[in-house]
Structure 1
């Protein structure tokens, strides 16, 4: 299944995006990433975000992909509490799974 994910970080941005990409490559063989782009925060007060898009094909179910993305966020120490304080160590959103748009990528629309 064609899958698109969005990665973002506003804390130790380059380090956290790189670490997330390494973890994603371990699970999703053949994953490719866009060049990272710096974006202004949307809806929160925080440092600038570093974002990128990941593209891969997978046989995993939508739920399995979601669970693995959340597991990476947890492994990297991200939490809902951090987000409430405006600190995003890593945010990995499932944007598209097959033909289904799961979540809009808001920083692409700015």
Structure 2
């Protein structure tokens, strides 16, 4: 079994699509757990606020199969195939880490979002603060400790 971390976000009917996405991703896992849900302002465009979280899964799927499965879930949950990066979406599922794998092709692992976005790093810090990022010397907690968020972010009650 491989431990993978997946970022999940929605800013269109987010009370429906975020739980639907979690349920679909959980079906790919033998076990799973999730951070709290955070509300975050969009980055790079004007739109409704996002609900974001990170899901940790244990899976026997290969990286390629997991990536394809996540893209299929996005399509099933109404995300058009040609959705651009900086626009509203029903669901967004991105592999952040996949075991100890370092991959510079698609998908890039570790995903650079770990170093850029509080909506990824804060939930990761909740789930696995002592995890060392593959190919790095830093733990998630150390990265979070030195992080300066560029966006407003708060836990959803």
Say whether the fold is shared (TM-score over 0.5).
yes
RMSD across aligned positions (CA): 1.8
SS in 2 for 1:27: coil
Could you say which residue in structure 2 is the equivalent of 1:15? Answer: 16
CA shift, 1:88, in A, is 0.8
Q: TM-score, normalised by structure 2?
A: 0.64
Is the aligned partner of 1:108 residue 2:120?
yes
CA distance in 2, matches of 1:71, 1:89: 13
- Shift in CA distance, 20/4, structure 1 to aligned 2, threshold 3 Å: same
Could you say which residue in structure 1 is the equivalent of 2:87? Answer: 86
CA distance in 2, matches of 1:7, 1:92: 5
CA distance in 2, matches of 1:7, 1:108: 9
CA distance in 2, matches of 1:104, 1:85: 16
Cα deviation per residue 1:33-92 (whole Å; 9 max; x = unaligned)?
111000111112111000000001112111011001000000001025454782210000
Could you say which residue in structure 1 is the equivalent of 2:130? Answer: none
Could you say which residue in structure 1 is the equivalent of 2:142? Answer: none
CA shift, 1:102, in A, is 3.1
Could you say which residue in structure 1 is the equivalent of 2:25? Answer: 24
Aligned length: 110
Q: Which runs of 5+ in 2 are unaligned?
A: 102-108, 122-148, 150-157
SS in 2 for 1:73: helix
Q: Which runs of 5+ in 1 are unaligned?
A: none
Rg larger in structure: 2
CA distance in 1, matches of 2:77, 2:20: 8
Which fold has the larger relative contact order, with Cα–Cα distance below 8 Å and residues 6 or more apart in sequence? 1
CA distance in 2, matches of 1:46, 1:81: 18
Could you say which residue in structure 2 is the equivalent of 1:97? Answer: 98
Contact 2:74 2:91 in 1 (8 A): yes
